[in-house]
Amino acid sequence: MGNCMARLKLVAALSAAVCALGVSYAQGGTVWDGVYSSEQAERGEAVYKGACIACHGQDLGGNSNSPGLVGMGFMFLWEGRTLGAFFEKIREEMPTDRPGQLPAQDYVDVVAYIMQANSFPVGDNELPYDAEILDGIAIAPKS
């Protein structure tokens, strides 16, 4: 737990630094603005394979009991909402056998992986564990 808290503080500090630098996606951005890094998505893929794949499948397509996390189905469920809402959903309810039990950074990393799987563009910065920033990123169709 101590390690987890340390990571949270570090992430929070980094987030603050990112905000201070005025990264544009923090305000009024969308998932098309390059809101995660490839390294983060790679970490998220490892998390996904460990904690999510059993229900949502290797191709993130889901099954009768678990919604798909890519493509038309994902956009139907999440278009018009924010990455913050998506993050909160999985942080509070996933994995279903131990909801909320993954390290906080894992949740935000797996969001990055799902963004990558949906072909939303990669950027230079990591998606931060910061509710305000995540709430400022809309899940939107490509304009």
Partner 1 sequence: MITSNAMCRGEPGKRELPRSILLSLSLTLSLIAPFASAQIESFSAVSDEMLNSPASGEWLSWRGTPAAWGYSPLDQINTENVGQLQLKWSFALDDTGAIQAAPLIHDGIMFIPSARGVIQALDAVTGDLLWEYRPAPPTEEFINSGAGTRAAVLPAGAFAGVGRGVQKNIALYGEMIYASTETASIRAIDARSGLLVWETQVADPTLGYFYTAGPIIANGTLVTGITGCDRYKDDVCFITGHDPATGEEKWRTSTVARPEDPGGDTWGDLPLRFRAGSDAWVAGSYDPQANLIYWGTAQAKPWARAVRGTDGDALYTNSTLALNPDNGEMAWYFQHIPGETQDMDEVFENILVDIDGRKSLFKMGKLGILWQLDRETGQFIKGTDIGYQNIVNLDPITGQITYRDGMIPRIGEELNMCPSTSGVKSWRAMAYSPDTSAMYIPITLNCELATFGPTERQLGGGGAGPVRRVNYHHPQSDGNLGEILALDIPSGEVKWRYRSRAPFNTAALTTAGGLVFAGDWNRTMSALDANNGELLWQVRLATSNQGFPISYSVNGKQYIAMPVGTGGASWSGSLPRELAPELSRPRNGSSINVFALPD
> Which three-class secondary structure state does DSSP give residue 141?
coil
One of 34, 62, 103, 123 touching partner 1 (CB under 8 A)? 62
54 binds partner 1 (CB under 8 A): yes
Shortest separation between residue 85's beta carbon and partner 1, angstroms: 13
Report d(CA 111, CA 86) in Å as an integer.
8
Helices and strands (H, E) in the chain, number of each type = 7, 2
Q: Which region, judged by CB under 8 A, interacts with partner 1, from 11-19, 25-33, 49-57, 113-121?
A: 49-57
Q: Is the Cβ of residue 28 or residue 99 nearer to partner 1 in the bound state?
A: 99
Shortest separation between residue 115's beta carbon and partner 1, angstroms: 18
CA–chain centroid gap for 63, Å, is 21
Residue list 63-92, contact with partner 1 (CB under 8 A): 63-68, 71-74, 76-77
Phi–psi pair at 63, nearest 5 degrees: -150, -165
Report d(CA 109, CA 101) in Å as an integer.
14
State the residues that interact with partner 1 by CB under 8 A: 53-55, 57-59, 61-68, 71-74, 76-77, 93, 96-99
